[in-house]
Structure 1
Amino acid sequence: MTVTDRRGAGPGQEQEQLVEMSWDPITRIIGNLGIYTKIDFGNRRVAECHSTSSLFRGYSVFMRGKDPRDAGFITSRICGICGDNHTTCSNYAQQMAYGIKTPKLGEWIVNLGEAAEYLFDHTLFQDNLVFVDFCEAMVKATNPSVLAKAENTPAPHAGIHGYRTIADLMRAFNPFEGEVYKQALHMSRVTREMFCLMEGRHVHPSTMYPGGVGTVPSPTLFTDYLSRLMSIIDFVKQAVAMNDDVFDFFYQALPGYEEVGRRRVLLGCWGAFQDPEVVDYRYETMNTWGNAMFVTPGVVVDGELVTTNLVDINLGIRILLGSSFYEDWASEPPFVTHDPLGNPVDHRHPWNQTTLPAPGKRDFDGRYSWVMSPRWYDRRTGDHLALDTGGGPFARLYTTALANRVNTPYVRSTGSSVQITLPRSATLPEQTLEWRIPPWSNAIERDRARAYFIAYAAGMALYFLEEALTRVRGGDQKVFQTFELPEEAIGCGFHEAVRGVLSHHLVIRDGKIANYHPYPPTPWNGSPRDSFGTPGPYEDAVQDMPIFEENGPDDFRGVDIMRAVRSFDPCLPCGVHMYVGGGRTIRQTHSPMFGASHG
């Protein structure tokens, strides 16, 4: 087994025993995410981490010259699991460029489709993928002493979910056999049906267009959606209770576990669920309708809500290259010098980006990833912040709680929390759940937030249904607004993909796409070290974190590292292949080239 450079130890520390270990690929969807580490087994910590992407896709290149009206259909294919989020965001950008306000009923239908997508994707990811790392089989293999404690620890919310001990809960999440694992698969089918009622097809919508939707509104459409939603509310309530029990137990069983995946609180949320009564898609009013969203956009720095203004958020985006396989576009002329309000637009903004791929050999001292490094420029300090999305729900709940602007019958923010009231369901009474801002931005709190956001999406779906049915019963049938394609225009769309921030930036010249850049959450979370040497969020969350797994180098699973990375919801992390250095002894303190990983 690989042993290391044995450097001197400080007080209370063992000599470093560095072992190279990598997981590549982690994700199955375009399976190109790799995590490369050096682990100090002497001090039970991760000494170094690099996040890599081995695939260039080039959407920003081949979108040029296309008809802008095709953008939603093309960009949907960016992802095979949340393609509708791209369609929605693209349509938002197009509607700004075309100068159109979509009909209110059409907006409620879009919101209902997106709520169903959050319900589907978050449940599938949380219960069928994330909890594999917390299930009985995995804990038995990596932390048998923790499983022994779990066998004798009563589950505090047994009255809600029905499992007597924490170990019983862990068994319920065992892949293919556990009862909760199987129930989650059933829920994913029901929520997909809900989605298809509104958007036609999962995951590439067939009824979503700039200007509205092609969905035929009727009372039956919405009651079919409602009947399915109510059938899963019991599961949603139980899931929150189960997640709280397991995650609270880990803090208790492994003192210090809050450090796993922990990083500075640097969060970005671009907002979700438009308010049809307010949104008009004009850039000039973007701050107004952005703040009316039912998930509040915002940037959080060290627990402080810095801004909720979508204009500020937009202008602060910078695309840095750093350790990525691209040439700089500094010599290229800008597409957009000023926004519609007259504010200057930076040359490193997505509106002005030119994608210039420059393939090369992976070098952890130089270039090593096909992901660029999106950053947000903080004008207060002059820093380029490596914002993360908290896996999506963590940032969404955090900004919404602090902004204290959401107030519906089912979901409301308080300034320090988000309260979600779900009605009486098949077996459980009405219940009010409360997500409170935690003291850490770490793996467990990112995962915990996901369960609460499933409840959030369910509560908002109930509200959207009521509003849509009121319009239909009042005789409103309009779901689409016609428009003319402009010869020249710019637009930007802001939305939340399942796993976090999503923006589409569009430039039209001569009636065609002159520039188009979609920025989903994975480039933000999985970016490499940027031009200033700042690591991306995956790298930052894993590097220097402690290791609690009881196995040594010979049978190490890396479960703490996997929990940290998976907490960000990096697309669909399921197939894990491992490489442990091939017997090399490390003689240098910098990162040498790691070998390719194959199962």
Structure 2
Amino acid sequence: MSKRVTIDPVTRIEGHLRVDVEVDGGRVKKAWASGQMWRGVENILIGRDPRDAWAITQRICGVCTTVHAIASVRAVENALQLEIPVNAQYIRNMIMLAHAVHDHIVHFYHLSALDWVDVVSALKADPAKAASVAQGLSSWSGNSAAEFKKVQDKLKGFVGTGQLGIFTNGYWGHPAMTLSPEVNLIATAHYLQALEIQRFASKIVAVLGSKSPHIQNVAVGGVANPLATDAQSVLTLERLLAIKEWMLKLEDFVKNCYLVDVGVIGGHYADWTKYGRGITDYLCVPDIPLDGKGTQFALPGGFIAGSKLESHKPITSFNDKYFIDGVSEAIKHSWYDYKGGNDVTLHPYKGETTPNYTDFQDNGKYSWLKSPTFYGKPMQVGPLPRVMNLLAAGHAPTKQYATAALDLVSKVAGTTVGVEALHSTIGRHAARAVGCAVQIDELLHQWDLLLANMGKGDYATFNRPTFPKGEQMGVGFHEAPRGVLSHWIVIESGKIKNYQCVVPTTWNAAPRNEKDQAGAYEACLIDNPVADPEKPLEVLRTVHSFDPCLACAVHVVDQENHPVITVKAA
């Protein structure tokens, strides 16, 4: 008998996402992903100075702040064809990479690990045995028996008071939770350690960006804070040396803790390589520009069709016509209207943001998200498409870390697990960890590039923009932690005429498009197991593997009080 399960809102994400699934025979047969708030920031920007857009758009989200600032200034610079100093690129790159490392650590440990880790089970663990297991896998300093005993005692204190504190509301004891008590204790300890480690990434963003969240050290034309060796009021060598130490602490955790934990959990849950495949058309943009024009990048991007690496088509520059011409948005199942009719698609330069709320309609409009397509097809964006495109482009560090991760998964699973396993729910976590290791290496490299360039006597960080008469159009894209982010701007006589944000979660959480093709969330949930419709942990596993950020995709204010989470099985 078919049951309708509604999770509203999905928690441990940013923003408000509703997911509906029809479950029959213990499997998902149909799914709907619905953004429950309207964004509307594009309408706020009309008529404003383009140089102010970055400060407004980064308020789209309290998590994905810096990514919108960078995409926005890149859009204006692209419209003006403005070259920026390489020092500004290096500083922006370090801000973006530190932000990404922070995002990946927080996503795995604090937003999704508890879908796989049974915290209550850790109370039964032997701390000495847990230490032996952990020390056999890595040299991470937090893997001592004393540390694990301390964490276990803290958990006992929570339970003794009748509460689990930050671990409240988990599906503890769920039949889909199968880790041993010792591995659960290890993962719980690393969850708490990650709370401390992630601060170093935030500090790097704060020093380089002059503030975190919502950085201030950015401007159309470069960055606002000058470089100097003899003035404390600007970005000094002393501050740069300080952030290098924080980078090394992050590197230690990412490579000796995060990458290992994902490999171990992936190996224990190797059966989850069978679920969550969904859309395997993968889109990724190049990033970490190495020149002032955006034609050379440390991390390549491109498009892959049907998971086939040999189909890789590169995206090569900020002016790449293949990318620019390929993006459009549909609203057939979205709470918007287009002047030309709701069955058409619009390129972002022609985009419209006219709300039309109709309530939730299974076969009609049911989401505040639009439906982006690339040459008429829905895409999956994010860490998995990023890693696949890097592998297809022959990026050596990605191949190194992916091989190491899959070798560990194979060792724990007791069977060979190859690249094909990454096209899955658990595979998205592995890809995110692999990408994080690549990004921490590149973070250190960008620091070296900046110091080397300063050593040559180059301290330039800003080129002043000028706005000609007439109309200019530009796109700024960034490979954000959750995937392809692009801001599209039309400028007329120095003012914003149109502005559209096509964000990663809009790609992945999109409702069905004008051809009724499902977005990535909806497609990936089909055939997902659900052991207990009243406790749909397995649905959350697949949705959380994307790290949803609905605040980036939709916005509105709700002054009513609602329960934290509601699950209905009808």
What TM-score do you get using the length of structure 1 for normalisation?
0.77
Tell me if structure 1 keeps the 8 A contact 2:330–2:513.
yes
Mark the runs of 5 or more structure 1 residues left unpaired by the alignment. 1-16, 145-149, 282-288, 333-345, 378-383, 422-434, 585-599
Q: In structure 2, do the counterparts of structure 1 residues 401 and 30 end up closer, same or farther at CA, with 3 Å as the change threshold? A: closer
Tell me if structure 2 keeps the 8 A contact 1:371–1:527.
yes
Tell me if structure 1 keeps the 8 A contact 2:510–2:520.
yes
- Give the 5 Å matches for 1:193-592: 193-217=203-227, 218-238=236-256, 239-251=258-270, 256-276=271-291, 279-281=292-294, 289=295, 292-304=296-308, 305-309=311-315, 310-330=320-340, 348-377=346-375, 384-389=376-381, 392-404=382-394, 406=395, 412=397, 437-487=419-469, 488-547=471-530, 549=531, 552-553=532-533, 556-571=534-549, 577-581=565-569, 584=570
RMSD of aligned C-alpha atoms? 3.0
1:234-289: per-residue Cα shift (whole Å, max 9, x none)?
Answer: 211121112101111111xxxx432222214121112221112xx415xxxxxxx1
Distance (whole Å) between structure 1 residues aligned to residue 241 and residue 279 of structure 2: 44
Matched residue type, 2:99: E
Tell me if structure 2 keeps the 8 A contact 1:502–1:520.
yes
Distance (whole Å) between structure 1 residues aligned to residue 113 and residue 100 of structure 2: 18
Distance (whole Å) between structure 2 residues aligned to residue 65 and residue 202 of structure 1: 28
1:279-335: per-residue Cα shift (whole Å, max 9, x none)?
Answer: 415xxxxxxx1xx32221211111234421332122111111121111123279xxx
Tell me if structure 2 keeps the 8 A contact 1:493–1:505.
yes
Offset of residue 567 of structure 1: 0.5
Distance (whole Å) between structure 1 residues aligned to residue 378 and residue 11 of structure 2: 22
What TM-score do you get using the length of structure 2 for normalisation?
0.80
Mean Cα deviation higher: 112-121 or 302-311:
302-311
Tell me if structure 2 keeps the 8 A contact 1:260–1:560.
no
1:10-57: per-residue Cα shift (whole Å, max 9, x none)?
Answer: xxxxxxx222211111146663210011212xx220122111112112
Offset of residue 371 of structure 1: 0.6
Q: In structure 2, do the counterparts of structure 1 residues 420 and 39 end up closer, same or farther at CA, with 3 Å as the change threshold? A: closer
Question: 1:8 aligns to what?
Answer: none
Q: In structure 2, do the counterparts of structure 1 residues 230 and 166 end up closer, same or farther at CA, with 3 Å as the change threshold? A: farther
- Give the 5 Å matches for 1:107-118: 107-118=89-100
Q: Percent of counterpart pairs with the same letter?
A: 26
Distance (whole Å) between structure 1 residues aligned to residue 506 and residue 185 of structure 2: 35
Matched residue type, 1:260: Y
Distance (whole Å) between structure 2 residues aligned to residue 123 and residue 46 of structure 1: 29
Distance (whole Å) between structure 1 residues aligned to residue 362 and residue 325 of structure 2: 31
Matched residue type, 2:388: Y
Offset of residue 115 of structure 1: 0.8
Mean Cα deviation higher: 499-508 or 259-268:
259-268
Tell me if structure 2 keeps the 8 A contact 1:330–1:347.
no
Distance (whole Å) between structure 2 residues aligned to residue 366 and residue 470 of structure 1: 57
Aligned: 1:21 with 2:5 = yes
Distance (whole Å) between structure 1 residues aligned to residue 113 and residue 404 of structure 2: 23
Distance (whole Å) between structure 2 residues aligned to residue 329 and residue 436 of structure 1: 48
Tell me if structure 2 keeps the 8 A contact 1:508–1:515.
yes
Residue 269 of structure 2 aligns to a residue whose secondary structure is helix
Mean Cα deviation higher: 485-494 or 520-529:
485-494
Offset of residue 491 of structure 1: 0.8
Residue number among 160, 175, 184 corresponding to 1:170 in the alignment: 184
Number of matched pairs: 493
Tell me if structure 2 keeps the 8 A contact 1:417–1:436.
no
Q: In structure 2, do the counterparts of structure 1 residues 271 and 576 end up closer, same or farther at CA, with 3 Å as the change threshold? A: farther
Matched residue type, 2:283: G
Q: In structure 2, do the counterparts of structure 1 residues 157 and 267 end up closer, same or farther at CA, with 3 Å as the change threshold? A: farther
1:331-367: per-residue Cα shift (whole Å, max 9, x none)?
Answer: 79xxxxxxxxxxxxx9721011122211112111111
Distance (whole Å) between structure 2 residues aligned to residue 168 and residue 118 of structure 1: 30
Distance (whole Å) between structure 2 residues aligned to residue 27 and residue 64 of structure 1: 33
Matched residue type, 2:336: Y
- Give the 5 Å matches for 1:20-59: 20-27=4-11, 31-40=15-24, 43-59=25-41
Q: In structure 2, do the counterparts of structure 1 residues 27 and 317 end up closer, same or farther at CA, with 3 Å as the change threshold? A: farther
Matched residue type, 1:244: G
Distance (whole Å) between structure 2 residues aligned to residue 132 and residue 413 of structure 1: 27
Distance (whole Å) between structure 2 residues aligned to residue 196 and residue 570 of structure 1: 24
Matched residue type, 1:111: N
Tell me if structure 2 keeps the 8 A contact 1:318–1:376.
yes
